[in-house]
């Protein structure tokens, strides 16, 4: 443990958000200082409630997160927000503009907002975001809102970090997006039907309720929690207090039913695998010798990728060229 | 090299599709026999043309692949198809039903169709699919069609395997899906506007052409290839010969411009990283001792995920409990 990491952890615990932002940046960058700070604060029990907000692009997740911040502040809660940037070029970067709206909270010392992004080919988003959630908790925030944009393994890994996951739908998306949403049902603890003032909201609600019935049947035998559906118009704040109440009810359910403990166990195991998935490639690469020469030989067609990868995987030197 | 792998490679080279299917299964399962067969055939130069077919769910990719098989057979080409199954629970499994249509080709010995799927938490889809493409090539097929369903890092890795990537769009998807499609532009060599008999096809074509103009500006300075847009009605085969002609033109461009060689170099490097990303976690896990006990301790909260992962990553034993 370096002096610098210990100092950063102390500042962070005292609620210094600049120190918090710096430590999160270290995690994103894969800087060893980040892991050191994390180890320093890791002993403490989880205190902050983590609410995940996910759903298809265009559902208004950022606007909803913005409205949730306002409502949580009204309830006297300090709020950290981790907005996970799309790591895939398939996701539309233009959507990030929506997030600017949230920035009006940045002058409020009770609000901390951070966009999380992957860097480089080898990912690391899930472990960085999980680590960031722990740091935000350690800095004294009561709630951590984790917003994920887009879908994919990275986002799934991140969704698993939340205690309560809100899946946001919206009236009027096409059939193909409905198919995606059907997949989202598996992770939903609470459903928000956002933009509920749009035409088609009533039929969207009927469709969602029909899917919810199917899902409730599928979950037969699991601890009883029927995910509620709350209509919201996030841009006006309508339905947002009811949505938070539903999240609170889920929190109470988790504690009372023992489901919270079961999930914590699963979460720990999943984080372990996510850490391995994200960090194992770098570790093996870091041990490889002559990497530049191998990449050049690969690109020139002098060796094939399978042989080069095998050499790194075996933990030895690279193949003779 | 085991006798069994050598025998499998010999059968496969003789065009035995049962041997081909078995070897691909080994790759998917992570069976060492798969890697052995691959090493046996790896020396040979690439011969088969790999055409990737990708796009959002609901665009009719499977129907288009089916129509491409028919047209390629008409041109006397032997066709291998690798249909990559969604690995994410966010993707709709119902869509797989579309693929049944293709099965009518299975009685044709000039056609080989295989669904690729990931197994287990640690993935492996990109390396298995890349290996499968090499094996299909070695078995004497002239064209390998690689169909990807859904979006995400896995699919991106797979998209990189193709020589020519066809991105399929369809009229009438919502704005949010258009945003996703905008991301797909980066990987498109040829655009297919499928279901072009639907209302809205003309305005969809105008939108696509406007995006194409933007993309052409973005690619300024790169070897000149303006991705053509071909309208198709895959269910009737309309436009499919023109689509294949466009793919052929791209193939000629790659060879003539030197871009093909540049891409081959990038592909080799990317495969190397994909292999590492996919296989490094398993390798480190395989070396770990007492894994079951660690997972149990993790789940019980006796150790944290960061410490457990660090022990495996460091390549040593697990932390004292």
Residue-level pLDDT at A6: 94
pLDDT at residue A72 greater than cutoff 60: yes
Residue-level pLDDT at B103: 65
b vs e for A96-130, b when ≥16 Cβ sit within 10 Å of the residue's Cβ? eebbeebeebeeeebbbbbebebeeebbbbbbbbb
Instruction: Assess whether B27 and B57 both reside in one domain.
Output: no
Does residue B180 form part of some domain?
yes
pLDDT at residue B20 greater than cutoff 50: yes
pLDDT at residue B134 greater than cutoff 50: yes
Alpha helices in A87-161 (DSSP H): 125-138, 153-159
Instruction: Assess whether A3 and A66 both reside in one domain.
Output: no
Does residue B18 form part of some domain?
yes
Q: Which residue has the higher pLDDT, B201 or A90?
A: B201
Last residue of a domain, one of B259, B293, B314: B259
Q: Distance between CA atoms of A272 and A276, rounded to whole angstroms?
A: 6
Instruction: Assess whether A140 and A211 both reside in one domain.
Output: yes
Asked whether the beta carbons of residue A176 and residue B58 sit closer than 8 angstroms, the reply is yes
What percent of chain A has pLDDT above 70? 80
Instruction: Assess whether B101 and B187 both reside in one domain.
Output: yes
B chain contacts of residue A182, beta-carbon cutoff 8 Å: 92
B chain contacts of residue A89, beta-carbon cutoff 8 Å: 156, 183, 186-187
Q: Which residues are CB-neighbours of A152 under 8 A, at least 6 positions away? A: A87, A88, B88, B90, B151, B152, B153, B154
Does residue B58 form part of some domain?
yes
Cross-chain CB nearest to B281 (options A89, A280, A298):
A280
Does residue A210 form part of some domain?
yes
A chain contacts of residue B265, beta-carbon cutoff 8 Å: 298-301
pLDDT at residue A42 greater than cutoff 60: yes
Residues A9-14: what's their mean pLDDT? Answer: 95
- Cβ burial, residue A162 (10 Å; 0-12/13-18/19+): buried
Residue-level pLDDT at A87: 42
Q: Which residues are CB-neighbours of A143 under 8 A, at least 6 positions away? A: A48, A49, A50, A51, A72, A77, A78, A79, A80
pLDDT at residue B239 greater than cutoff 80: yes
Among A259-263, B178-182, B267-271, the range of highest mean pLDDT: A259-263
Q: Looking at residue A315, what DSSP letter applies? A: T
Residue-level pLDDT at B121: 44
A chain contacts of residue B300, beta-carbon cutoff 8 Å: 265
Residues A101-115: what's their mean pLDDT? Answer: 80
N residues, chain B: 321
- Cβ burial, residue B300 (10 Å; 0-12/13-18/19+): exposed
Q: Do the Cβ atoms of B81 and B147 come closer than 8 Å? A: yes
Residue-level pLDDT at A176: 43
Instruction: Assess whether A111 and A247 both reside in one domain.
Output: yes
Q: Nearest residue on chain A to B43, judged by CA atoms?
A: A304
Kindly provide the ipTM of the predicted complex, given to two decimals: 0.70
Torsion sign, CA atoms B52, B55, B57, B63: negative
B192: domain range?
Answer: 44-259
Instruction: Assess whether A228 and A85 both reside in one domain.
Output: yes
Residues B122-140: what's their mean pLDDT? Answer: 84
Work out how many domains chain B is built from and give that number: 2
Among A62-76, A253-267, B194-208, the range of highest mean pLDDT: A62-76
Asked whether the beta carbons of residue A176 and residue B276 sit closer than 8 angstroms, the reply is no
What percent of chain B has pLDDT above 90? 35
Does residue A320 form part of some domain?
no
**Count of A-B CB contacts under 8 Å:** 223
Asked whether the beta carbons of residue A284 and residue B280 sit closer than 8 angstroms, the reply is yes
pLDDT at residue A174 greater than cutoff 60: no
User: How close is the nearest chain B Cα to the Cα of A176, in Å?
Assistant: 6
Q: Distance between CA atoms of A67 and A302, rounded to whole angstroms?
A: 57
Residues A138-159: what's their mean pLDDT? Answer: 78
Instruction: Assess whether B19 and B93 both reside in one domain.
Output: no
Residue-level pLDDT at B320: 54
Q: Which residue has the higher pLDDT, B257 or B175?
A: B257
Q: Distance between CA atoms of B66 and A234, rounded to whole angstroms?
A: 44
pLDDT at residue B178 greater than cutoff 70: no
Q: Which residue has the higher pLDDT, B229 or A152?
A: B229
Q: Which residues are CB-neighbours of B304 under 8 A, at least 6 positions away? A: A42, A268, B298
Give the strand order in the sheet containing B143-148.
B111-116, B79-84, B143-148, B49-54, B164-169, B190-193, B229-231
Pick from A108-117, A269-278, B95-104, B212-221: least confident? B95-104
A chain contacts of residue B184, beta-carbon cutoff 8 Å: 90
Asked whether the beta carbons of residue A42 and residue B313 sit closer than 8 angstroms, the reply is no
Asked whether the beta carbons of residue B57 and residue A284 sit closer than 8 angstroms, the reply is no
Residue-level pLDDT at B182: 55
User: How close is the nearest chain B Cα to the Cα of A224, in Å?
Assistant: 22
Two tokens at A131? 């680590």
Q: Which of B280, B295, B303 is the best residue to mutate to test the A interface, defined by the most A CB atoms within 10 Å of its own CB?
A: B280
Does residue B204 form part of some domain?
yes
Q: Nearest residue on chain B to A36, judged by CA atoms?
A: B306
Instruction: Assess whether A172 and A237 both reside in one domain.
Output: yes
Q: Which of B131, B152, B155, B158 is the best residue to mutate to test the A interface, defined by the most A CB atoms within 10 Å of its own CB?
A: B152
Alpha helices in A3-98 (DSSP H): 3-13, 17-29, 32-41, 61-74
Does residue A283 form part of some domain?
no
Q: Nearest residue on chain A to B91, judged by CA atoms?
A: A180
Q: Distance between CA atoms of B64 and B56, rounded to whole angstroms?
A: 13
Among A306-315, B136-145, B282-291, the range of highest mean pLDDT: B136-145
Quick one: which of B14, B27, B6, B7 has its CA closest to B139?
Answer: B14
Does residue A282 form part of some domain?
no
Residues B70-95: what's their mean pLDDT? Answer: 71
Query: CB atoms < 10 A from the CB of B76, how many?
Result: 8
User: How close is the nearest chain B Cα to the Cα of A109, in Å?
Assistant: 30
Instruction: Assess whether B68 and B108 both reside in one domain.
Output: yes
Q: Distance between CA atoms of A297 and A292, rounded to whole angstroms?
A: 9
- For residue A93, name the pLDDT band (cuts at 50, 70, 90): very low
CATH number at residue A217: 3.40.50.300
pLDDT at residue B202 greater than cutoff 80: yes
Alpha helices in chain A (DSSP H): 3-13, 17-29, 32-41, 61-74, 125-138, 153-159, 175-184, 201-218, 240-257, 259-287, 291-299, 305-313
Q: Which residue has the higher pLDDT, B183 or A246?
A: A246
pLDDT at residue A53 greater than cutoff 80: yes
The model's pLDDT over B281-296, given as tens digits with 9 standing for 90+, comes to: 888 888 888 888 888 9
Q: Distance between CA atoms of A107 and A191, rounded to whole angstroms?
A: 30
Residues A253-260: what's their mean pLDDT? Answer: 92
Last residue of a domain, one of B214, B235, B259: B259
Asked whether the beta carbons of residue B172 and residue A174 sit closer than 8 angstroms, the reply is yes
Beta strand B111-116 pairing with B190-193? unpaired
Beta strand A111-116 pairing with A190-193? unpaired
User: How close is the nearest chain B Cα to the Cα of A310, in Å?
Assistant: 8
Last residue of a domain, one of B259, B289, B312: B259
Cross-chain CB nearest to B88 (options A59, A152, A173):
A152
Q: Distance between CA atoms of B312 and A24, rounded to whole angstroms?
A: 23
Instruction: Assess whether A35 and A177 both reside in one domain.
Output: no
Instruction: Assess whether A250 and A228 both reside in one domain.
Output: yes
Residue-level pLDDT at A216: 73
pLDDT at residue B297 greater than cutoff 80: yes
Q: Distance between CA atoms of B252 and B233, rounded to whole angstroms?
A: 25
User: How close is the nearest chain B Cα to the Cα of A74, in Å?
Assistant: 32
Asked whether the beta carbons of residue B58 and residue A179 sit closer than 8 angstroms, the reply is yes
Residues B54-60: what's their mean pLDDT? Answer: 80
Residues B223-245: what's their mean pLDDT? Answer: 93
Instruction: Assess whether A292 and A250 both reside in one domain.
Output: no
The model's pLDDT over A196-229, given as tens digits with 9 standing for 90+, comes to: 999 889 988 888 887 777 777 766 666 678 899 9
Quick one: which of B71, B58, B88 has its CA closest to B236?
Answer: B71
Q: Which residue has the higher pLDDT, A105 or B228?
A: B228
């Amino acid at each position: 443990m370096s002096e610098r990491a210990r100092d950063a952890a102390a500042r962070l615990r005292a609620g210094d958000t600049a120190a918090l932002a710096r430590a999160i940046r270290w995690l994103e960058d894969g800087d060893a200082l980040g892991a050191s700070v994390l180890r320093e604060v890791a002993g403490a029990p989880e205190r902050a409630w983590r609410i995940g907000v996910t759903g298809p692009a265009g559902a208004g997740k950022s606007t909803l997160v913005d409205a949730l911040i306002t409502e949580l502040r009204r309830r006297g809660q300090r709020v950290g927000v981790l907005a996970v940037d799309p790591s895939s070029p398939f996701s539309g970067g233009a959507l990030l503009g929506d997030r600017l709206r949230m920035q009006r909270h940045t002058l409020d010392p009770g609000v901390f907002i951070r966009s999380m992004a992957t860097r480089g080919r080898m990912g690391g988003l899930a472990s960085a975001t999980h680590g960031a959630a722990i740091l935000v908790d350690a800095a004294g925030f009561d709630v951590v809102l984790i917003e994920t944009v887009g879908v994919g393994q990275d986002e799934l890994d991140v969704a698993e970090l939340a205690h309560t996951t809100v899946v946001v739908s919206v009236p009027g998306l096409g059939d193909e997006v409905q198919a995606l949403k059907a997949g989202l049902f598996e992770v939903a603890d609470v459903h928000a039907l956002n933009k509920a003032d749009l035409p088609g909201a009533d039929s969207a609600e009927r469709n969602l309720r029909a899917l919810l019935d199917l899902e409730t049947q599928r979950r037969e035998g699991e601890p009883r929690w029927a995910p509620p559906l709350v209509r919201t118009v996030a841009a006006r704040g309508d339905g947002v207090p009811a949505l938070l109440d539903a999240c609170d009810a889920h929190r109470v359910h988790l504690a009372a039913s023992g489901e919270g403990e079961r999930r914590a166990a699963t979460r720990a195991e999943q984080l372990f695998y996510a850490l391995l998935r994200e960090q194992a490639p770098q570790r093996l690469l870091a041990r490889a010798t002559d990497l530049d020469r191998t990449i050049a030989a690969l690109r020139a067609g002098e060796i094939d990728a399978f042989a080069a990868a095998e050499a790194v995987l075996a933990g030895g030197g690279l193949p003779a060229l």
